[in-house]
């Protein structure tokens, strides 16, 4: 790519809403064909200078158009025009029953936002710096450089008490759960109800009996947990899956007290903690009791689901057992992958990627919520302050499964609340709508169809 920036003509009246004019001008040019798919736009600095406005105006306009699907922006490749998005008022295609036009799949980040250029730079730097001993992968806890970078990062952004020697690098949250189940053979586990199904399913597959503990507006109900015989519990305190509730400070203190009283452990899945929009950051539970909380995180939401990289910050009493188990089972996680992620952390590129992604996902979240208020006013929407999903509660008597099936027939993928509960009969009818990969225009189109489906019940 050359060093010069291409020109772009936009008619802008600086006496009124310049950002809105920039957005509307580019949007119209894309829709009208004046800007073809693949066209590279001027840099934000160059366009701001041409228009005589601040660079922030152009940055925010470009971010909004990226969120809407009109543009794509990748570090090192500039900002380019996408193919024209499907109009919000367009009718579903003839084969909508065979493929999804809009897919509200929960919990999935947009792979198009993956910072390819930054990752490539990090990979080159990491490979150049890896020594023979590091490539040998002898340390079952993981690459020392990554554990050191994670300890600094998690302490800085999540308030985790994370010494590098107590961090074990793994491939996913599910992998971390598998390791903990194996090193805690006599422990009975509890999980949230409703809750993320992965730990519950893995425990049941291992032949364990699992206690289901209800959640409310403050998170897991600790008094209900005390009525079980569990000595370990899996929780999502920063952003409960799927309700979106942040565990209240009194509940956090009560949960830590429970773990000490039963000589047990809390497994903290730091679910969606990086993406928050309308509330202040919530620190990790682990910071309250490092000796009783296992803190787990992954790159699945921050970078890409397929990256397969995670970590567990362990109480000192569990480190040796988990490391020994790694030696006897899967060995270790890819050294090159670990070194690349360590470089991404050290360079600050992950922080930059997260700041940009938050703006994009906030715009998509706002579009889904606005569409629900417009097209589905009989539903209530929750879990909107953070994460990549919203939760819709449908009117009593709605056949949740029928809504899912009829929406799919019209090309709209929606997902039932019962996916997250072990006792579907106790839950009110509802849906969990993911917006990670859904542009604002697609949100309007998809929720409009969903509203028609629900109204026709």
Q: Give 298 or 58, the one with higher predicted confidence.
A: 298
What is the pLDDT averaged over residues 81-100? 48
> Tens digits of per-residue pLDDT, 97-129?
347 899 999 988 999 999 999 999 999 999 998
Q: Give 291 or 208, the one with higher predicted confidence.
A: 291
pLDDT at 3: 47
What percentage of residues in the chain have a pLDDT greater than 70? 92
What is the pLDDT averaged over residues 376-383? 93
pLDDT at 156: 93
* Mean pLDDT, the chain, integer: 88
Instruction: Categorize the per-residue pLDDT at 254 as very low, low, confident or very high, splitting at 50, 70 and 90.
Output: very high
What percentage of residues in the chain have a pLDDT greater than 90? 58
Angle at 139 between CA 134 and CA 143, to 5 degrees: 55
pLDDT at 19: 81
pLDDT at 85: 41
Phi, psi for 276 (deg, rounded to 5):
-125, 150
**Domains contained in the chain, CATH given:** 18-81 (1.10.10.10), 102-108+352-455 (3.90.1150.10), 116-347 (3.40.640.10)
Q: Give 43's Cβ-side CA count (13 Å radius).
A: 11
What is the helix (H) or strand (E) element at residue 235, kind and residue range? strand 232-235
Query: How many angstroms separate the Cα of 253 from the Cα of each of 154, 260, 296?
Result: 21, 11, 19
Residue 13, classified by CB atoms within 10 Å of its CB into exposed (0-12), middle (13-18) or buried (19+), is exposed
Strand 102-103 with 412-413, pairing = parallel
Q: Give 289 or 91, the one with higher predicted confidence.
A: 289
pLDDT at 155: 95
| Per-residue pLDDT at 179 exceeds 90 | yes
pLDDT at 329: 84
What is the pLDDT averaged over residues 233-239? 95
d(CA 68, CA 234): 36
| Other beta carbons within 10 Å of 322 | 22
Virtual torsion, Cα 70, 71, 72, 76, nearest 10 deg = 170
Nearest to 363 by CA among 15, 71, 116, 35: 71
Q: Which range (73-87, 309-323, 363-377) has the least confidence?
A: 73-87
d(CA 383, CA 360): 18
Beta bridge partners of 432: 391, 415
> Tens digits of per-residue pLDDT, 142-168?
999 999 999 999 999 999 999 999 999
pLDDT at 83: 66
For residue 4, what is the DSSP state? S
Instruction: Categorize the per-residue pLDDT at 4 as very low, low, confident or very high, splitting at 50, 70 and 90.
Output: low
pLDDT at 87: 37
What is the pLDDT averaged over residues 130-146? 86
Length of the chain: 457
Residue 338, classified by CB atoms within 10 Å of its CB into exposed (0-12), middle (13-18) or buried (19+), is buried
E strands within 63-209? 71-74, 78-81, 102-103, 167-170, 189-193
Contact 401, 444 (CB under 8 A): no
| Per-residue pLDDT at 96 exceeds 70 | no
Instruction: Categorize the per-residue pLDDT at 366 as very low, low, confident or very high, splitting at 50, 70 and 90.
Output: very high
d(CA 382, CA 370): 13
Nearest to 187 by CA among 259, 289, 285: 259
């Amino acid at each position: 790519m050359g060093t010069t920036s291409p020109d772009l003509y936009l008619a802008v009246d600086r006496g009124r809403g310049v950002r809105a004019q920039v957005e509307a001008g580019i949007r119209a040019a894309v829709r009208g064909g004046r800007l073809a798919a693949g066209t590279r736009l001027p840099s934000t600095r160059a366009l701001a200078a041409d228009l005589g406005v601040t660079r922030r105006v152009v940055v925010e306009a470009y971010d909004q158009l990226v969120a809407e699907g009109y543009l794509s922006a990748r570090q090192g490749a500039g900002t380019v025009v996408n193919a024209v998005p499907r109009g919000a008022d367009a009718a579903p295609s003839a084969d909508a029953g065979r493929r999804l036009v809009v897919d509200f799949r929960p919990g999935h980040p947009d792979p198009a936002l993956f910072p390819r250029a930054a990752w490539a730079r990090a990979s080159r730097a990491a490979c150049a710096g890896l020594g023979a001993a590091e490539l040998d992968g002898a340390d079952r806890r993981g690459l020392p450089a990554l554990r050191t970078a994670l300890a600094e990062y998690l302490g800085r952004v999540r308030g985790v008490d994370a010494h590098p020697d107590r961090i074990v690098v793994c491939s996913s949250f599910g992998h971390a759960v598998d390791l903990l189940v194996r090193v805690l053979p006599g422990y009975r586990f509890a999980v949230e109800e409703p809750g993320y199904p992965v730990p519950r399913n893995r425990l049941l597959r291992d032949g364990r009996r699992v206690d289901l503990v209800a959640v409310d507006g403050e998170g897991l109900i600790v008094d209900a947990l005390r009525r079980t015989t569990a000595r370990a519990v899996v929780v999502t305190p920063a952003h409960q899956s799927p309700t979106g509730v942040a565990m209240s400070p009194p509940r956090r203190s009560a949960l830590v007290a429970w773990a000490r009283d039963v000589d047990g452990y809390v497994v903290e899945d730091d679910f969606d903690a990086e993406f928050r929009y309308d509330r202040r950051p919530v620190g990790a539970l682990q910071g309250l009791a490092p000796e009783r909380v296992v803190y787990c995180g992954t790159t699945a939401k921050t970078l890409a689901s397929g990256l397969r990289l995670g970590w567990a910050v362990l109480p000192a009493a569990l480190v040796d057992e988990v490391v020994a188990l790694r030696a006897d089972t899967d060995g270790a996680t890819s050294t090159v992958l670990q070194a690349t992620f360590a470089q991404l952390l050290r360079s600050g590129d992950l922080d930059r990627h997260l700041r940009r992604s938050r703006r994009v996902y906030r715009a998509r979240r706002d579009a889904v919520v606005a569409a629900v208020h417009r097209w589905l006013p009989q539903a209530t929407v929750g879990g909107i302050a953070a994460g990549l999903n919203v939760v819709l509660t449908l009117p009593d008597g709605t056949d949740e499964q029928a809504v899912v099936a009829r929406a799919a027939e019209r090309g709209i993928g929606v997902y039932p609340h019962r996916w997250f509960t072990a006792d579907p009969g106790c839950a009110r009818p509802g849906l969990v709508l993911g917006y990670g990969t859904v542009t604002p225009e697609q949100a309007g189109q998809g929720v409009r169809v969903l509203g028609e489906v629900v109204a026709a019940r």
